[in-house]
Structures are given as C-alpha cells and as structure tokens.
Amino acid sequence: MSQTVETAPPPPAADEPVERKSLLTILIHRPEVGALVAALAIFVFFFAVAEPFRSVAAFSTVLYDSSTIGIMAVGVALLMIGGEFDLSAGVAVITAALTAAMFSYELSLNLWVGTIVALVLALMIGYWNGWLTMRTGIPSFLITLSTFFMLQGLNLGVTKLLTGTVATTNISNMDGFGALEWIFASSFTIGDLTVRITVVWWLLFTAIATWLLLRTRVGNWIFAVGGNAASARAVGVPLNRVKIGLFMGVGFLAWFYGMHRLYAFSTVQSGEGVGNEFLFIIAAVVGGCLLTGGYGSPIGAAIGAFIFGMTRQGIVYAGWDANWYRFFLGAMLLLAVLVNLWVRNYAMSRRS
Amino acid sequence: MTDTATGPVPARTETGAPLIEMTGVGKFYGAIRALEGINLKVDAGEITCVLGDNGAGKSTLIKIMSGLHQHSEGTVRVDGDEIKFNSPRDALAMGIATVYQDLAVVSLMEVWRNFFLGSEKRKRYGPINPLAIDDMRSTAKDELAKMGINLKDINQPIGTLSGGQRQCVAIARAVYFGARVLILDEPTAALGVKQSGVVLKYTARARDAGLGVVFITHNPHHAYLVGDHFVVLKLGQMILDAHRDEINLADLTSLMAGGDELETLSHELAREGAVDTQTIREIEVSERAADQASAEVTQPREPLDTPLEEATAEPAPKPQEPTS
C-alpha cells in the first residue's frame, strides 16, 4: 500500500467526512432523510388520533407487520440501487413456501429437506430473472413480469394437481417443524413487548445490506452498475455477476419470508402474494431509492416498511375503514417520488 | 492490487524505443478501408496530437491503440516488441490507458469511489475484505492534489463537478493506476473555453510527469497549445506528420478545415454573396478578438501556463451571409 507520509492531516477518528459540514448538510444528502421525517410525522399523527396505537402491544404488532414487508424490501432496495426491478418477488415468496411444504409432505421427508429444496429453487428463480435480463437486454420490468405470471400459474396449478385443493396440508406435526418454527416464526418478550423473530431478522438483514453497500467492493459495484452500467463495465466491474447476484439476493429473501409464512401458519394458500411486490418496491422508493438506479439505502427501505406497518395498523387502531390504506399507499408513493426528485436535484446541484 | 507506479514514470524505456510505434497500420471493416498506412510514434514526455474531421479515422486509430479493435495490416510495437491487443485489458496491462469522451464515471457516486471504481483497495480480515475507505479517500485527495485539482470535499458526487474537472479526475485516475501512455479522446469537445483550458493544463502536466500522451481532437487551436507532434488524418490516411517546429497554427488550421475544400466553398459562396477566403479570414480574426474580449470580461480565470486566448475561437466560424 502506498500510504503517503506527507503532512496530510491526521485521519478522523470515525468514518465521518473530515470537512466541517453542519449536521443538517450531512443529513440532507442521505437518501433516507425524507422517509425518516415522514415516519416521525406518521407516528406522531397516529399516536395523537388513535388511543389504542399508544399501547406496547400495538407497537409490537406494528413492528411485526413492518418486518414482513421490510425483509423483502431490503433485497428489492439493493436490486433497485443496482438499476433493476423484480415484479415476481411477491409470488416467489409463495412459490418457496409451497415448494417446501409440498415437497416434504408428498415425499414424506423431513421438513429440512423441503426447506433446502425451496431455497435452491428460490435462488434459481433469481438467477433466471437476472440471467435472462442480462442475456437479452430486455428491461427487467418485462422479464420479471413474465416470471410473475408464470409463477402465479405454477403456484395455483401445481398445488391443485398435488393436493386437489388451493392450499397445502397442515405440516405442523412433521419432523423438523419445531426447529424451523423457532428460526422463522418464533417470538420472545422484552418486558411487556412481544418481539416476533422476523423483526430481528429484518433489522439484521438491513444492517448486513447497509454494510455490504457502503463498506465493501461489491457495494461499490452495485452503485456503479445502477448508476452507469456502461462506465462500470469499462472500468472492469463484472456487470453480469453483480446484477444476477442481486436478483438471487431477492430470491434468497423471498425464500426466507416464504419460510416465515409457512412455519407461522403451518399451511400456505396458493393464490396469495399477488400485489406484494409493489409493497416492497414502494417501501424501497419511499425510503429513497431512485427508480433509475444508482441511489438509495437499505435503511431507507426499512423506514419505508415501518411507515407501512404503522399506517396499516394505525388505520385499524383509529377505527377507520381499512380500505383507506390503499389510498394512502398511492399518495405516499407520489409524495416520496416528488421528495426524492427534489432531494436528488438539490444534492447534485450543490457544488462545494 | 494495482496500486503500482505512483511515482514519476521513467522518461524512456531502457531500450530507448518509443512507447508505441505504428508502422504502415491499416484497418478494414469488411470491405471498407477505415485506416491506411499510418505511421505514428508515441514518445514518453511528449504530446502527440491526432487531428482530423469527423470520419477521418481518429476513433479507429484510438480503438487499435486501446485494444478495442485489432489492426488488419502493418505493425504495432510497444517498447519495441510487436504486439496485437486482444482486449482493452491487454492494453491497460501494458500501461496504455484511454480516457473516453463519455468519461467512464458514475455521476451519483462520490469522487473517491469513482477514482477507485473497479480497482478498489481493501483491508483483509480473514475471509471478509471491507473497503479501505480512509486510505482510498486520502489517496484520491492526494493524487488529485498532485494534478493540481483541489476539491473541498472528496465525498461529493462526481456529477457535481464541472465537465473539465471530471475529465481531470479521469486523467488523474489513469496516471495513478500506472498509465505510461494516456490516450485522450476529444477531451475538450464538449467543454467551454475555461474548462478546456483546465483540461489542457492537466494534459500538459501529465506530459511533464513523463507520460506519452495521445491527444485526439478536431480543434487545431487546442492541439497547438499543448502538442509536440501533429498528425492530421483525412479519409483514413495521414496527410500531415510534423513536429511542432515544422508547422504553424495557421497552416494546421487550414489543413484541418480542409484547405482546398474551403477554397472551393468560398468560390461557391462568392457567387451569391461576394465572400472570398480573405473575407472569411478577416471575419475569423475579428470574431476571435470579440470572443477574447468577452471572455476576459465575463470569465476572470486563473492564470494558465500557456496562453489560452488562441483557444477561444471556434475552429471554422461560418461565413456570414451579408444581408442584401
């Protein structure tokens, strides 16, 4: 390493920029700032209008609901930063869950076997999406849209074929259920607060993704392939490997969330999952990811998921018609896109 | 790790051979002859300017030198050894770096991330290798400072820099990663006067650091400011190969503008509006003076090593049709 030993100023203790910038300036340049402000506002709002929202139990429910969106939003956010979409993410969750349940049940195997098979399949779906996108140059929006419909058809068709119904058989008596339930669907209490294990996984995945993105070479490459694929390739970034890897990351998380659903409810409805892909994308966008790629943050996506958790539950706690949640979804997305546009233009125009 | 050759590069290879020497190089695309009989030498510590109109074969020439295409005939020698590049990576490995017009930067990423993109420095903790961020930040800052680029904040997105500064970062990056030959593809084409001046200054600095520079442009004014050697291409052939002592700016400009064609054009125009070559020259001179005056008023700029005034004129101002 050619570390210069000149009169360079001593490196700062932390990784914070050396320049004397105000906290506000640093904050405004973070992708997740808009979402953070919105999250605080929404929290205060429901805290004020909905009395049941103030209880610890309600907070526990909000956290759990957030985590179910948040786990997937991590992978979707990374993929979006890498400049691609995955519309098949919602149904891929169900595909993974159905595979694990039916493979083990129909062949009378330990649930671990089905769970591993489901993992391999989920990674293969990710690989398929990524490989086809890179190989053909067709936008991932279209590639994954086709995957979405194919998986939806397979979910319904194969389930009907094997079980004769629209749902898998209850698997809670099968071998391996206990340990798998502990990993994917258990809960514990801290004081009065009941914490579902998915909340822990959600925070852990968010932390890992953040570290990966900001502190590793792969993270550098993810920003680069999303920001300017041609330039990235020109300086030697393995474009295909990075993008396919990101699709497989979404596949992995789809498997993980699918396993949660399976071991939490012991059975899976084959028609579920449709529409969830948009929730993941919206959480990522609300959290500051640009639709054009190259910009965003997993922490922002986590905050985006939390906003949804709060609102979905908050509307119920406030005693309103739950259908209003859909309206909110759309309004929030529009607002987020506008805020992101403004923030980005502000960040790019400022010359220091 | 590719962090080699950060110090000054030896002015010449041990053999004393030119860094790149092309003899009788030609290139066919199918039946189309894009380049023919090119003899070109790139010496360390010299700027070789390749000039030519659109379609003259400039880009084909760069592509051969940078390893994107292979030549069809003739020989290319690097350090005296005959070679044929298979990919840009081959060329890079021999220290031949190309800075393309579109710059290969990712505008939303920080300057230091762009600087090291594709060749990141990493720490080693067993199986995991996180980025050596502080090291990269300070190295990028130092390397840019060496080139005379002082940024207040190495963490700003590179898109917030001006076109000229971005070009300079790309040059500094190539120099840092061990380039001995720097190929600059139209580095001033999309830039304003002041920014062009900045880029020309760093081009000269790269030469002074001992690199062989190939400067591709269609602007003879820019070329003459920094060039040591001039090659003019026309329809795939060399029509000029001259050292700085052997040619002056006026001749270079007229050659570039296509001397004869301009003459013919002036006759054609003369029928309609009585404009001859002499008038065009006068218009050119007066416009240059006007540009210069306005540039001085509107753009107070840092002093340059070389006078920039000549660069303010556009290569060939359109003759104005006198209004009747």
Q: For chain A, list the domains and their CATH numbers.
A: 37-346 (1.10.3470)
Could you tell me if B206 and B212 are in contact, meaning their C-beta atoms sit under 8 angstroms apart? no
Residues B146 and B47 in one domain: yes
Q: Indicate if the pLDDT at residue B286 is higher than 80.
A: no
Q: Taking CB atoms and an 8 Å limit, are A236 and B119 in contact across chains?
A: yes
- Residue B24, domain member (yes or no): yes
The count of CB pairs under 8 A between chains A and B is: 106
Within-domain flag for B6? no
> In terms of domains, do B194 and B309 share one?
no
Window from A59-68, A241-250, A279-288, B258-267 with minimum mean pLDDT: B258-267
Residue B278 lies in a domain: yes
- Residue B96 has phi, psi (to 5 degrees) of -105, 110
Are B37 and B171 in the same domain? yes
The H-assigned helical ranges of chain A are 23-28, 33-49, 56-81, 89-106, 111-136, 140-163, 177-185, 197-215, 217-227, 229-234, 239-265, 276-286, 298-317, 324-349
Cβ neighbours of A242 in B, within 8 Å: none
B309 or B119, which is more confident: B119
| CATH value at residue B208 | 3.40.50.300
Task: Return the amino acid letter for B135.
Answer: D
Q: Name A193's bridge partners.
A: A190
Closest by Cβ to B113, choosing from A15, A21, A220? A220
In a domain, B129, yes or no: yes
Looking at the structure, tell me whether residues B201 and B149 fall in a common domain: yes
Q: Which two tokens stand for residue B87?
A: 């990919």
In sequence order, what are the residues at sequence separation of 6 or more whose Cβ sits closer than 8 angstroms to the Cβ of residue A256?
Answer: A71, A184, A201
Residues of B in contact with A231 (CB under 8 A): 102-106, 117
Contacts 24+ apart (CB under 8 A), A158-164: A158/A98, A158/A102, A159/A98, A159/A102, A159/A270, A160/A270, A162/A102, A162/A106, A163/A102
Residue B282's pLDDT band, with cuts at 50, 70 and 90, is: low
Check whether residue B214 and residue B269 sit in a common domain.
no
Mutation for A interface: B2, B68, B106, most A CBs within 10 A: B106
The model's pLDDT over A172-221, given as tens digits with 9 standing for 90+, comes to: 889 889 999 999 999 999 888 899 999 999 999 999 999 999 999 999 99
Query: Do B39 and B69 reside in the same domain of the chain?
Result: yes
pLDDT score at A99: 95
Task: Residue B101: list chain A partners with CB under 8 A.
Answer: none
pLDDT at B79: 86
* Sequence-ordered list of residues with C-beta below 8 angstroms from that of B71, at least 6 positions apart, any chain: B22, B25, B26, B27, B35, B64, B84
- What is the radius of gyration, based on Cα positions, of chain A? 21
Which residues of chain A does B103 touch, with a Cβ-Cβ cutoff of 8 Å? 231
Say how far apart CA A162 and CA A181 lie, in whole Å.
24
CA distance A344 to chain B (A): 9
Closest of B210, B228, B216, B204 to residue B307, by C-alpha = B204
Residues B308 and B249 in one domain: no
Residue partners of A263: CB distance under 8 A and separation at least 6: A177, A180, A181, A183, A184, A185
pLDDT digits (tens, 9 = 90+) for A142-166: 999 999 999 999 999 999 999 899 9
As for how many domains chain B has, the answer is 2
Take residue A107 and report the two structure tokens written for it. Answer: 């062949």
B10 Cβ contact partners less than 8 Å away, ≥ 6 residues apart: B44, B210
Q: Checking DSSP bridges between strand B96-99 and strand B20-29, what pairing results, if any? A: unpaired
B215 with B303, same domain: the answer is no
Q: Alpha-carbon Rg of chain B, whole angstroms? A: 21
Lowest mean pLDDT, pick from A14-18, A321-325, B36-40, B293-297 = A14-18
Of B224, B256, B288, at which residue does a domain stop? B256
Q: Please name the residues in contact with B110: beta carbons below 8 A apart, sequence gap of 6 or more.
A: B154, B155, B156, B157, B158
**Position A138 confidence tier, pLDDT thresholds 50, 70, 90:** very high
A169–chain B Cβ distance below 8 A for any pair? no
Note whether A227 contacts B6, CB cutoff 8 Å: no
Chain A partners of B131 at a C-beta cutoff of 8 Å?
A: 215-217, 219-220
Of B1, B3, B131, the CB nearest to A217: B131
The predicted pLDDT at position B123 comes to: 86
CA distance to partner chain A, nearest, from residue B160 (Å): 5
Q: Give the end of a domain, one of B215, B231, B256.
A: B256
Token representation of residue A140: 């991932």
- Is residue A16 within 8 angstroms of chain B, CB to CB? no
Average pLDDT over residues B299-323: 43
Q: Are residues B105 and B217 in the same domain?
A: yes
Q: SS3 string of chain B?
A: CCCCCCCCCCCCCCCCCCCEEEEEEEEEECCEEEEEEEEEEECCCCEEEEEECCCCCHHHHHHHHHCCCCCCEEEEEECCEEECCCCHHHHHHCCEEEECCCCCCCCCCEHHHHHHCCCCCECCECCECEECHHHHHHHHHHHHHHCCCCCCCCCCEHHHCCHHHHHHHHHHHHHHCCCCEEEEECCCCCCCHHHHHHHHHHHHHHHHCCCEEEEEECCHHHHHHHCCEEEEEECCEEEEEEEHHHCCHHHHHHHHCCHHHHHHHHHHHHHHHCCCHHHHHHHHHHHHHHHHHHHHHHCCCCCCCCCCHHHHCCCCCCCCCCCC
User: What per-residue confidence (pLDDT) applies to A73?
Assistant: 96
ipTM of the complex: 0.80
SS3 A275: coil
Same-domain status, B150 and B238: yes
Mutate to test the interface with B, among A28, A220, A341, A344 (most CBs of B within 10 A): A220
Point out the residue among A215, A232, A347 whose CB comes nearest to the CB of B157: A347
Q: Is A19 on the interface with B (CB under 8 A)?
A: yes
Contact list in A for residue B156 (CB cut-off 8 A) is: 350-352
- Comparing A190-194, A272-276, B70-74, B85-89, the range with the smallest average pLDDT is B85-89
pLDDT for res B274: 53
* Statement to judge: residues B154 and B248 lie in one domain: yes
The pLDDT value given to residue B290: 60
Assess A22–B contact: CB distance below 8 Å, yes or no. no
Please state, in angstroms and rounded to a whole number, the distance separating the CA atoms of residues B156 and A32. 17
In a domain, B3, yes or no: no
Using CA atoms, how far apart are residues B232 and B229, in angstroms rounded to an integer? 10
Residue A250 — very low, low, confident or very high, per pLDDT cuts 50/70/90? very high
Residues 6+ apart with CB under 8 A from A325: A311, A312, A315
Domain assignment present for residue B221? The answer is yes
For residue A36, give both structure tokens: 């953070």
Q: Which domain holds residue B317?
A: 258-324
Query: Computed from CA positions of residues A105, A107, A110, A113, in that sequence, does the dihedral angle turn out positive or negative?
Result: negative
- B5 versus A315: which is more confidently predicted? A315
A13 interface with B at CB cutoff 8 Å: no
Q: Is residue B272 part of a domain?
A: yes
Task: With beta carbons under 8 A apart, name residues in chain B contacting A344.
Answer: 108
Q: Within 10 A of B153 (CB to CB), how many other CB atoms are there?
A: 16
H or E segment and range at residue A194: strand A193-196
Cβ contacts of A230 on chain B, cutoff 8 Å = 102, 104
pLDDT given for residue B313 in this prediction: 40
Cβ distance B108 to A220 less than 8 Å, yes or no, reads no
When CB atoms are compared, the residue of A6, A15, A294 closest to B133 is: A15
Q: Is B80 left (phi over 0), alpha (psi -120 to 50) or beta?
A: left
pLDDT of the residue at B194: 79
Nearest residue on chain B to A11, judged by CA atoms? Answer: B134
pLDDT tens column, A17-65: 444 556 666 666 777 887 888 889 889 999 998 888 889 999 999 999 9
Residue B206 Cα, gap to closest chain A Cα (Å): 20
Please write the tens of the pLDDT for every residue from A78-128.
999 999 999 999 999 999 999 999 999 999 999 999 999 999 999 999 999
The answer on B287 and B175 residing in a single domain is no
Inter-residue contact A9 to B142 (CB < 8 Å): no
Write down the pLDDT at residue B126: 73
Examine residue B8 and state whether it is found in any structural domain, yes or no. no
pLDDT at A255: 96
- Residue of A4, A235, A352 best to disrupt the B interface, most CBs of B under 10 A: A235
**Cα dist. A34→A99, A287, A300 in Å?**
39, 7, 9
pLDDT exceeds 60 at position B295: no
Question: Which amino acid is it at B271?
Answer: R
Domain boundary among the residues B206, B229, B256 is at B256
**Among the partner residues A4, A224, A230, nearest to B142 by beta-carbon distance:** A4
Query: Phi/psi at A57 (nearest 5 deg)?
Result: -60, -40
Report the chain A residue with the minimal C-alpha distance to residue B92: A235
* B chain contacts of residue A207, beta-carbon cutoff 8 Å: none
**Closest-CA residue in chain B for A346?**
B160
Residue B130 pairs with which residues in a beta bridge? A216
Segment B19-28 shows an average pLDDT of: 86
